[in-house]
Chain A
Amino acid sequence: MQEKTDEDIAVQVCGGNSNAFGILVERYERKITRYAKRFLFNYRNIDDAVQDVFIKAYINIQGFDTNRKFSPWIYRIAHNEFINLIKKTGKEPLPLFDPDTLFPYLASNERTDKGLNDQEVKEEIEKCLGKLSPNYREPLVLYYFEDMDYKTIADVLKIPISTVGVRINRGKKILRKIYDKTILKLE
């Protein structure tokens, strides 16, 4: 059973094998919890949010297109659930319309040197997570901690691929400023 792909298991669940859903939960529990802890930094009820993600995934599993990858589908459900939680608590403002999605950007191609400074960036993200707005925090978390490429992130967030690049680049710049200020204060 463990050797089967996520998509195969999803087919089994759709066919009425509810227990097979437990395997999907175990495969994605760590990933979704990790994503939630970083994206919903400073938020309470993270465990409940993660549980709701899996419940919603089960409820809507007949809507999953088995010709596609299961991973972006469940991350999309998690994204919606976490965004709803942010909206509900009202702690962080979320724009109704994002102008970044409007124009094409030239300097937004995916880096080929990914991995060289990743550890450094990851440390910066970890230390300054709460100070980044959700718009920038989420693509950074998905790119550096969930190891997603721009196309997958675009599918999870339903935004243009070039916008993913812009948000990651801008997010990193903002992060560097916040990080440098924090270090200066400490010194």
Chain B
Amino acid sequence: MTKQFSNLSKTILNKIESGKAKMKPKWHFILKTTLAVLGICLVSLTTLFLTSFVFFSLRQTGVLFAPHFGFRGMAIFLFSLPILLILLSMVFIVVLEILARRYSFIYRKPLLYSAIGIIVLVLLGGFLVSKTRMHHNFFESSERGNFPIGNSLYKDFGRNFGMKQPKDITLGVVVNKMKNGFTMENRNGEILNVVFPHSSPNRDWNFNKDDRVLIFGERIGDNISASGTQKMDEELIFPRRDFRKRR
């Protein structure tokens, strides 16, 4: 050991003894780690909430099912996406990636892998959460005015956040069957006449009263010329009790 090394050791030990260098207590690091974990949990939950809300809104407005109706449906799907909510979710995903990179199992992998992993988890989690009743309950509470924070978000399924209700997609419940179509009631309580033009490939429709249906076609006034239909079987789409209360 040379003299120079001993000098550095002595200098540092002197600083420690004189109190110029003070060890941070253990709780400081425990608090820091706890806050980091809490931050990751909070950002993860917020991202999951936003993503599931996007899926919920897309399903409730029928936009999620638009691609079933060909290229036009796909175009409607892309143009009706809630861009603001998607951008906000992306910002949270970036924050999540930054927070998670403090852990070796994340930073040792290329950014692309961890980013894809986080995006897949968020999308999968968001989709699964959107299948639960959580957003329905929040939506109903906000409609009753019991969820003041959520009012702005849930109003017309995220309309304030860039969600659009496409003109060519209508969701409703079959009220009456007619010779060349049927009447249906949409969420706003409007009675609409659905007719199938001769060129429609869906002329052999077979819906019953109270069936929940999605109609793809141009709406003029209270009439819809349907170029595509889909029966909605999912229990969580378009809560029936809202209709029953109104009728």
Interface residues of A (CB under 8 A from B): 13-14, 18-19, 21-22, 25-26, 29-30, 50-51, 54-55, 58-63, 101-105, 151, 154-155, 158-163
- A21-B12, A51-B11, A58-B12 are known contacts. Are A160 and B21 too (CB-CB below 8 A)? no
- B29 neighbours in A (Cβ, 8 Å): 60, 62-63
Asked whether A58 and B109 contact (CB < 8 A) given A25-B8, A29-B8, A30-B5, the answer is no
Assess A62 versus B28: contact at CB under 8 Å? Given A51-B11, A159-B107.
yes
6 extra interchain contacts, Cβ-Cβ under 8 A, other than A21-B16, A104-B112?
A25-B9, A26-B6, A62-B28, A102-B110, A103-B110, A154-B107
Contact A50 B28 (CB under 8 A): no
The 7 closest A-B pairs by CB, nearest first: A63-B29, A22-B9, A25-B9, A104-B110, A62-B26, A102-B111, A160-B110
Q: Does B178 contact A (CB under 8 A)?
A: no
Determine how close the nearest CB of chain B comes to the CB of A104; give it in whole angstroms: 5
Which residues B32-69 have CB closer than 8 A to chain A?
Answer: 32
A63 pairs with B24, CB closer than 8 A? yes
> Which chain A positions have C-beta within 8 A of B111?
101-103, 160
A54 touching B13 by the CB < 8 A rule? Answer: no
Give the Cβ gap from A50 to chain B, nearest Cβ, in Å: 7
Against A, the Cβ 8 Å flags (1 = close, 0 = not) of B82-119 are: 00000000000000000001001001111111000000
User: Please, which residues of chain A bring their CB within 8 A of the CB of B22?
Assistant: 59
Chain A's closest residue to B114 (CB) is: A160
Interchain CB contact under 8 A, A60 and B12: no
Residues of A within 8 A of B24 (CB): 59-60, 62-63
Q: Is B17 an interface residue (CB 8 A)?
A: yes
By the criterion CB–CB under 8 Å, are A58 and B23 in contact? yes
Give A14 to B184 CA distance when docked, in angstroms.
Answer: 74
A selection of 10 A-B contacts at a CB cut-off of 8 Å is A25-B12, A30-B5, A55-B15, A59-B21, A59-B23, A59-B24, A62-B24, A62-B28, A103-B111, A104-B110
Is B110 a contact of A26 with CB atoms below 8 Å? no
Q: Give the residue name and chain of the B residue nearest to A50 (CB).
A: B8
Which residue of chain A has its CB nearest to the CB of B11?
Answer: A51
A151 and B23 contacting across the interface, CB-CB below 8 Å: no
Which residues of chain B are near A22, meaning CB under 8 Å? 9-10, 12-13
* 8 Å CB contact of B110 from A30, A101, A155: A101
The answer to whether the Cβ of B1 comes within 8 Å of any Cβ in the partner chain is yes
Note all chain B residues with C-beta closer than 8 A to A30. Answer: 5
Q: How far is the CB of A137 from chain B (nearest CB, A)?
A: 21
- What A residues does B32 contact at CB under 8 A? 63
Bound form: Cα–Cα A21–B22 in Å: 13
Inter-chain contact A29/B9, CB cutoff 8 Å = yes
Whole-angstrom distance between the alpha carbons of A30 and B28 in the complex?
A: 30
A151 to B16 CA separation, bound complex (whole angstroms): 33
By the criterion CB–CB under 8 Å, are A58 and B16 in contact?
Answer: yes
A13 CB contacts on chain B under 8 angstroms = 23
**How far is A114 from B8 in the complex, measured between Cα atoms in Å?**
34
Is B70's beta carbon under 8 Å from chain A?
A: no
Contact between B13 and A104 (Cβ–Cβ < 8 Å)?
A: no
Taking the closest CB of chain A, its distance from the CB of B187, in whole angstroms, is 44
Q: CA separation between A102 and B112, bound complex, in Å?
A: 5
Per the bound structure, the CA–CA distance linking A58 and B8 in Å amounts to: 14
- CB contact list, B116-173 vs A, under 8 A: none
Contacts of B107 in A (CB 8 A): 154, 158-160
Q: Could you say which residues of chain B place their CB within 8 Å of the CB of A29? A: 5, 8-9
Task: Report yes or no: B16 in contact with A26, Cβ–Cβ below 8 A.
Answer: no
In Å, the complex CA distance between A18 and B113 comes to 43
Give Cα distance in the complex from A13 to B13, angstroms.
12
